[in-house]
Structure 1
């Protein structure tokens, strides 16, 4: 990984490399689902920053490192808000603790090895790599100063986020600490419509019961 690749002295910390966020629709759907559900999970905590496809510069000197844009990253202890990129020296020196990568056919073994080395060197605590086409999940946890691969994956609970991972025969499922599954925006909208319809039905039943009671001379 060449930290000076595409280096422009007039723009030493670019916010984009001109590449698409995702290589295909499945990768994009997973990226958005994980990012948005984490946003929902930590919506009430002003000190959890969640981002998708955002350049992370770990050190000031571009000759040393970076950047890399994780598919999804979580920085605990940093305030929410807009950023064009994540400059760690402006973020209290706090590295993102959790990173997710969603594989696509375009990801080479060298690219992923370089990313692992980068995340290992600059302080990531939890690293999740999911391959949707093969339905394979790789989990690495920082132990004794290194990102080490975990062997017991099914039912894994993130130490930092409290979310649970479950690999079925067909796909990966992720659950929040209350056991609610991560949903796509379409699934979430459908659930909200169902809940609104159920609430309306309950209200109608309550109104019918009240009418019957009034007809019998009782005031509900």
Structure 2
């Protein structure tokens, strides 16, 4: 096990942007924005639900490559506040419980092959893919047993 000193931890920068555009199309951006606003409205009375979109979720302290950027996600049991990115270790080890990916031709392979394993290992309980074009095959993650 690798233990980092506080000096080493403070030297690691966890970026909030990769310099890439937020969404590849107006359709994707609109669905992402709508989804976030709908979830925020639904959970408006709860101070312990954080909803965000297309921001980095860092899940391993000291490893800035251990990162994923869900299109839309919700985390239960953490404070509702603005964040530049989400660092699991700073949030009591709480990971997102809900993730929605708005899939497209350019993201389909990652959304269906890579991300499900990452989300499963993080303990994401609900993972959905939405294909606004209807062009891609359906995908289902195994049901999580609670």
TM-score, normalised by the number of residues in structure 1: 0.56
Map of 1:3-42 to 2, 5 A cutoff? Answer: 12-42=13-43
What are the Cα deviations for residues 61-107 of structure 1, in whole angstroms up to 9, with x where unaligned? Answer: 317x5211100000011111110110000001101000000012211
Q: Which residue is equivalent to 1:121?
A: 121
The question of whether the paired residues in 1 share the 8 Å contact of 2:116 and 2:141 is answered with no
Shift of 1:12: 3.2
What are the Cα deviations for residues 104-154 of structure 1, in whole angstroms up to 9, with x where unaligned? Answer: 221141x22111111111111100001111176645364248xxxxxxxxx
The question of whether the paired residues in 2 share the 8 Å contact of 1:31 and 1:102 is answered with yes
Q: Which residue is equivalent to 2:3?
A: none
Task: Pick closer, same or farther for the CA change 1:108–1:38 going to 2, 3 Å.
Answer: closer
User: What value does the CA root-mean-square deviation take over the aligned residues?
Assistant: 2.2
Map of 1:42-191 to 2, 5 A cutoff? Answer: 42-62=43-63, 66-109=66-109, 111-112=110-111, 113-134=113-134, 138-140=139-141, 142-144=143-145
Larger Rg: 1
The question of whether the paired residues in 2 share the 8 Å contact of 1:12 and 1:62 is answered with no
Structure 1: unaligned runs, 5 residues or longer: 1-9, 146-220
Higher RCO (CA < 8 A, seq sep 6+)? 2
Task: Pick closer, same or farther for the CA change 1:142–1:94 going to 2, 3 Å.
Answer: farther
Rounded to whole Å, the distance in 1 between the matches of 2:142 and 2:31 is 21
The question of whether the paired residues in 2 share the 8 Å contact of 1:97 and 1:126 is answered with yes
Rounded to whole Å, the distance in 1 between the matches of 2:95 and 2:108 is 25
Task: Pick closer, same or farther for the CA change 1:108–1:131 going to 2, 3 Å.
Answer: closer
